[in-house]
Structure 1
């Protein structure tokens, strides 16, 4: 009998065992009588309330050190499992009658749990052990009261299963093509609350401790953990097993603990760090040629952060590892950072420049976490944004440092801000600092609010505080709370002190006064600027912006401290984004009108929020709008900063959505794009038009709308060089711009986009070695693949699917997965949806991408909708246990639903399958509100937009000529696709 089976038999035959899993535990209880001397209770909800009904751990006992030993078995013929022993050194701060910690999905032999009083050097008898499944608590009751200020050691053995759930300690695999063999590995993902599924622990971020980790496994594998390897020994009791012991870690939270057992190889960076910090990139053997870029930029950005924060990286090494199956983009485990392959690996002849940017962005983000999150950690998940918002913003600084030629900082900031304007305009949004009602809600706040809005708010602070005050304040905050925990008020205190010292804020104002209005309440403001052209002044008021035009007083009962920046048409100054004035907000959420004097005369415009320095929208009076539109539609349009050109379009479209202004103003602003060549304004316009496109696609107005889109795209398609021009690989904005314009042009049959795309793809299909020779321009492959699949047949789809199967590059596989969703063959899409639930065909981490790609297509939407409604239970099981990802399924459907019937259908599904949606309630609420808003828009805006588009058609473009040209393009494309 194999070692694992022996161990399990010993556990079950000779010991009382509890299983930290409610279902399994109940079954075991029914089978076995409970022994009086070692009673184990399986508490129901009423019992739990009698013991302890707070989901937070009591603070009477805290951990100092974990000695963790794990045996990992990676062989499918013998079962995937792990066993281990953890010894936790504890400090008792108050007299206690129990030790409460976390355990979940672990089998624990209760008779083998030991407790020792370190202070008195004597063993303590254990009276009983029980579980509280509601909160994943493992509660150990000693015979005697634990004494205050003493130290104890509790020793707990456990056994667990290496599943494929992508959380806790799980298994992943890859196909070794040379040996034609599947190779297994094991890896951890503990954030936010999954360490408890790998070993019993105090699984809360404030419960920091040091860790001594040992990993035992077959000698054919190697292993990694947070710290460098200390020693390797043979395991005498298990043949061919070795045990790697790692150095004692720094003090850290359980969610940052990491270990991995694999046969991966590594490449050490040739960029040397000071203090001999080793920097290594691990990957499967077949992918080692893809690690060079990460090995090059990693040490550089780490050094940048050391200088920026004035704090040395505290560990002796950084290992970064590319995991084939990984639910998140990456995880910042201290000293052992885990990545999805697409976020770490880059191959120049197969990865686009956008894929290269993603690697730089994610690497910079995770290394920023080594300070924000790891060194200084939020006390509780309510302040997750302190981790993610800071890492997102600081990563943009890191990427700008690595690649100044990309000029990515402005684009990143604008992208984040415009995205947040849409998400945070929902009533179902949430504050940045959000109250967590139960730990199972934590995963839902790993969203755009915590990441993007958090980043935008930090950028806003950076702007109004100034570089020196911001940098010193952040550095002092990190130094003061190093190896400890903090709340946002601690950050506000440090920033206020540096701001007052640098005189960037009056001493009567604190950062807390300002920022609490942005982090503790939901949403953002729109300021209404009404100019008085007789007195050259303006009156400004603020209110909350909501996409829903039907609001109540409670919806709008908000106000913010708003840093005001502005410039004028006669003395344009778009360079300074420091606050020129403030709109204030008192504790009663009251704000007064703000009057701005010394504005220009009636011949010159005024523009507020320079370079989007603040998270707010602006509504102008009609005369000021006319002045701005006239400038935009003249040869002086570039005198308005490019970011503000994007902002003006986005604000106008959003205000037209809610009826606060006419669509005529928004369309007049978009009209200037015929002479615009910059990426950011075009992206702002097309992102807004994409929303309108989804709502019109099944309406009789769609023909006119398509003609309008073709009309505005023709000049820019020619300007970017069309689909045939090979973009400059060094200019990120140019590449993204050409790709975006070509994607829209191919979708709307502009120019030769369709014809050339299909020609490119057909030429690739006739290559004798298509996996090695690809004639399609690298950075335009996503567009060309999608266009060819959309207009092609089954052979085209099968050809591209085979390229997916054969590809060894994660970024390329991800690109192909998206393109395959573009098909119009219904049976092909139906089969593809089925494949998304089969992890041997589509990795579990990619299932939602397949679904969302199909759901966003004109024909695919109906198939995806039926699939979601019919197969919700199967989708739930595929995602389990991280069922919060169901929001990734419901969101793309909701975006295209706009009728009361569809809303009712969706509500009924959520009601009937309430258990399935329990952990995605935030996303469900947002999806339902999205459908309501879409319906509201069609009722209120459809006729107005129809009138405006028809009026523009009569003035600016010939609808019949557009339709004729479109039909000719389709005919040509169809003939080519059948070649």
Structure 2
């Protein structure tokens, strides 16, 4: 029986959030003029004339005036507009409108055409604007990328686009908001030696009359779409093609010297499209789907409709060199971008507030698709566990933000492409699927897509479709999906459910509160959630039923429930981690669970529940809500555990401790403890060879790699010396790919470089420069940051400040992160950032939100008041460079603060515990 109580007013909460975020609508288009069709002609010069990299073109925008206005406002950034040629034509036969002047609003990136007479309500007009711009290497808008052909050693160029979120305006004047959907007729002018790609198939290629050896490539009209999904590329790439079962043509494009790496993508792409067409019961609406690997690309991939762009490491796969984890990542990213063709492209959020409707759904659906295509990988369980652990960590900060987040100025948009939009959004969708039932959820989503196709929607539109289906299938009539889910998407954080067993009464009391990592909790928090509670007992062991047995309503009082087991058997809540909440049991129930885990019956508790018990006990100990004794007693059971995910959860939490104490006197005892913990499992699964049985199981490969990495680092058995031996053999014969198993290269490279000197480092750096496989280059780059030679770490960082060093702009932050994570490199990275912040900022522009990664990689290891003061002073003194990473600054400061709290509260106690274990 469910007891209903008065719930919080979520509309009121939303208003409060808007007030807190200080939103204004000055940055938004007025909507007086609405575009319907763009005719876009662009001529691209890739150094072919006068060694210049530039483009020029004209756009004719057909639009309707929906409210009389003398001001036609659209977006433009870093473009030169030919003002004397701009025209506004009346398409109803009224001639050309008289223009009074023009205005530019740089803050909001507006270009305004001021008319002498107002446009008439309901009439159609054409806005004609000639423009030109530079093809810079800024990884945003319409920009240039380059590569050196491994066969000819010739440097080649391409021109490509990246428009999400607000960079279409860098390529052509437009109404650059997601709700301003239009059709597009695109024509690209270029020399004959290149080919052109865009969202739609090529309609015609014709000679350019005014330029010899130049051509126009004309593309078919697009379907209605947002400007951020427009894409066009000029390159000399090659491709391989395939088809979906619905006869959609797939082409995977890459540098011609990397075409041997596209076959896997060509196989996965059509299969994911087939899966989504069946799942959504909505056909893919375009006749083709191109996927292309871009050498310089800021994001992982971009879902442009019909022309998906990728980093090379996210699309290309070499079966001889790329690891199994890389193969999984390539499949996942392809599936993620294909899911966007429905969630994001076919139905688009009205404004960036509901970005999670794009990214959360794409993340969730990608997991389903990959599991469908490769069930032997067992990847869906890992996807759930990884999302849970990531969200539990990030969303425990006061400086986190809601899933449906109020967004102000467009420069704030990039900051919300984070764990909350992707992983939390995905996990909440999984939670809905489990409490509604998969078929109910699928039907609701299908109806939502059909109702809003080619249009825009908000999360309330999704809630409406899901509620309709839910009430047909038995969901409580007095509940709506909106009532439940607004508590999860409109407010920040997640709850911890305190379970207090009333043993004499066979009952328990439940209380919810928001979980904070900061032990100084806000006095006026007052947050609550509608929580779907599933559970089972030691006698029942019903771990297959994830539907809620109880709904804990949204209020702040204690709830008492009867009918629970006797005092000698445990109860577990949140079956298979079906909901986004932590659970803190009373001490006796924890002990009952410990007794089972530390017995031969530990596998009676499923893997995902073992993962949650590990993570909850660690995190609750962090805040002082549970004794660290329980966490360390719990992980004793790992001497029996041979599954990957519980070890991943354990080492993730132990790694958090490692970061906070590795520069303290406690560390020696901690290293001894870790070595003893790892030795048994290393002998079972971690040795630096791969058996045939291991190779065939992705989770087994990942488990072995994880254990080997930790074992080599902490001196377990012969791990480190064996890594050095294998690397020495590899140095003698680097063309022999059999010497080092491809799935263990990252481990062996890192440990050999850590134990080696300049000779090993220089050899691997040359291998990095020679490699033609992006996934291999990533592994090598991470390994180069493992050296303990201070000058080599500084050299690696300095490479990120030099053109043509061999390190691409997209990888600068990754280089910094790997150096900062090195025990020796932390101080080098800190000083490097302090001394070079201006140059780093300039080289990252316009993707300066990536500075958040620089900050967080340092902040996670800072544990003293002195370090907090340094960080605060540094970011304050350089505020101008962090204006687009303000959220990252706040989160990093909070992270240091909670690290200080942890050290003050727990370090001495932890040292005593580890000392006792040693003796």
Correspondence 1:371 to 2:342: yes
Partner deviation per Cα, 1:499-529 (whole Å, 9 max, x = no partner): 00111x1111000000000000000000000
Equivalent-residue separation in structure 2 for 1:397 and 1:272 (angstroms): 18
Equivalent residue for 1:235, pick from 192, 208, 224: 208
Correspondence 1:806 to 2:777: no
Equivalent residue for 2:758, pick from 777, 794, 810: 794
For the Cα contact (< 8 Å) 1:771–1:807, is it kept in 2?
no
Aligned to 2:410: 439
Equivalent residue for 1:548, pick from 518, 521, 527: 518
Equivalent-residue separation in structure 1 for 2:849 and 2:690 (angstroms): 42
Partner deviation per Cα, 1:190-235 (whole Å, 9 max, x = no partner): 0000000000000000000000000000110000000000001111
What is the CA distance between 1:106 and its match in structure 2? 0.1
* 1:72-471 matches, cutoff 5 A: 72-75=44-47, 78-269=51-242, 271-274=243-246, 276-471=247-442
Equivalent-residue separation in structure 1 for 2:72 and 2:690 (angstroms): 67
Aligned to 1:751: 717
Aligned to 2:494: 524
Correspondence 1:483 to 2:454: yes
* 1:489-500 matches, cutoff 5 A: 489-500=460-471
822-831 or 76-85: bigger deviation: 76-85
Equivalent-residue separation in structure 2 for 1:627 and 1:596 (angstroms): 20
Equivalent-residue separation in structure 2 for 1:229 and 1:654 (angstroms): 55
Equivalent residue for 1:561, pick from 497, 513, 530: 530
For the Cα contact (< 8 Å) 1:89–1:154, is it kept in 2?
yes
In structure 2, relative to structure 1, the CA distance for the partners of 1:824 and 1:549 (3 Å cut) is: same
Equivalent-residue separation in structure 2 for 1:426 and 1:512 (angstroms): 25
SS class of match (1:174): strand
What is the CA distance between 1:384 and its match in structure 2? 0.3
What is the CA distance between 1:240 and its match in structure 2? 1.2
Equivalent residue for 1:502, pick from 460, 466, 473: 473
What is the CA distance between 1:254 and its match in structure 2? 0.1
Aligned to 2:797: 833
SS class of match (1:543): strand
What is the CA distance between 1:721 and its match in structure 2? 4.7
Equivalent-residue separation in structure 1 for 2:107 and 2:149 (angstroms): 42
In structure 2, relative to structure 1, the CA distance for the partners of 1:141 and 1:772 (3 Å cut) is: farther
For the Cα contact (< 8 Å) 1:102–1:136, is it kept in 2?
yes
What is the CA distance between 1:772 and its match in structure 2? 5.0
SS class of match (2:142): strand
For the Cα contact (< 8 Å) 1:724–1:756, is it kept in 2?
no
Partner deviation per Cα, 1:18-45 (whole Å, 9 max, x = no partner): xxxxxxxxxxxxxxxxxxxxxxxxxxxx
Equivalent-residue separation in structure 2 for 1:390 and 1:338 (angstroms): 19
Correspondence 1:720 to 2:685: yes
Equivalent-residue separation in structure 1 for 2:35 and 2:435 (angstroms): 41
* 1:738-887 matches, cutoff 5 A: 738-767=704-733, 770-771=734-735, 773-840=737-804, 841-887=806-852
For the Cα contact (< 8 Å) 2:88–2:127, is it kept in 1?
yes
What is the CA distance between 1:591 and its match in structure 2? 3.2
For the Cα contact (< 8 Å) 1:646–1:680, is it kept in 2?
yes
Correspondence 1:691 to 2:663: no
Equivalent-residue separation in structure 2 for 1:376 and 1:907 (angstroms): 42
Aligned to 1:71: 43
Equivalent residue for 1:927, pick from 892, 900, 909: 892
Equivalent-residue separation in structure 2 for 1:725 and 1:123 (angstroms): 73
Equivalent-residue separation in structure 1 for 2:738 and 2:134 (angstroms): 43
What is the CA distance between 1:771 and its match in structure 2? 3.7
What is the CA distance between 1:724 and its match in structure 2? 2.8
Higher-RCO chain (CA-CA 8 Å, sequence separation at least 6): 2
For the Cα contact (< 8 Å) 1:583–1:591, is it kept in 2?
no
SS class of match (1:143): strand
What is the CA distance between 1:593 and its match in structure 2? 2.0
Aligned to 1:60: 32
- Count of aligned residue pairs for this structure pair: 893
Equivalent-residue separation in structure 2 for 1:949 and 1:707 (angstroms): 9
What is the CA distance between 1:53 and its match in structure 2? 7.2
Partner deviation per Cα, 1:238-289 (whole Å, 9 max, x = no partner): 22110000000000000000000000011001x4432x31111000100000
What is the CA distance between 1:157 and its match in structure 2? 0.3
Equivalent-residue separation in structure 2 for 1:703 and 1:564 (angstroms): 42
What is the CA distance between 1:69 and its match in structure 2? 0.2
Partner deviation per Cα, 1:442-461 (whole Å, 9 max, x = no partner): 00000011000000100000
What is the CA distance between 1:121 and its match in structure 2? 4.3
* 1:659-670 matches, cutoff 5 A: 659-670=624-635
Equivalent-residue separation in structure 1 for 2:738 and 2:871 (angstroms): 43
Aligned to 1:13: none
* 1:572-611 matches, cutoff 5 A: 572-585=541-554, 590-611=555-576
For the Cα contact (< 8 Å) 1:526–1:619, is it kept in 2?
yes
What is the CA distance between 1:180 and its match in structure 2? 1.7
SS class of match (1:643): helix
Equivalent-residue separation in structure 2 for 1:53 and 1:617 (angstroms): 38
For the Cα contact (< 8 Å) 2:102–2:111, is it kept in 1?
yes
For the Cα contact (< 8 Å) 1:564–1:583, is it kept in 2?
yes
Partner deviation per Cα, 1:549-588 (whole Å, 9 max, x = no partner): 111212x321000000101011111111111111111xxx
Equivalent-residue separation in structure 2 for 1:374 and 1:603 (angstroms): 54
For the Cα contact (< 8 Å) 2:320–2:737, is it kept in 1?
no
Q: TM-score, normalised by structure 1?
A: 0.90
Structure 1 unpaired stretches of 5+: 1-51, 955-979
SS class of match (1:334): coil
Equivalent-residue separation in structure 2 for 1:240 and 1:143 (angstroms): 44
For the Cα contact (< 8 Å) 2:244–2:274, is it kept in 1?
no
SS class of match (1:57): coil
For the Cα contact (< 8 Å) 2:686–2:708, is it kept in 1?
no
In structure 2, relative to structure 1, the CA distance for the partners of 1:778 and 1:400 (3 Å cut) is: same
Partner deviation per Cα, 1:124-153 (whole Å, 9 max, x = no partner): 121111111110000001221100100000
What is the CA distance between 1:725 and its match in structure 2? 3.6
Equivalent-residue separation in structure 2 for 1:738 and 1:104 (angstroms): 50
For the Cα contact (< 8 Å) 1:764–1:774, is it kept in 2?
no
For the Cα contact (< 8 Å) 1:726–1:777, is it kept in 2?
no
Structure 2 unpaired stretches of 5+: 1-23
Equivalent-residue separation in structure 2 for 1:56 and 1:446 (angstroms): 20
Equivalent-residue separation in structure 2 for 1:851 and 1:224 (angstroms): 35
SS class of match (1:596): strand
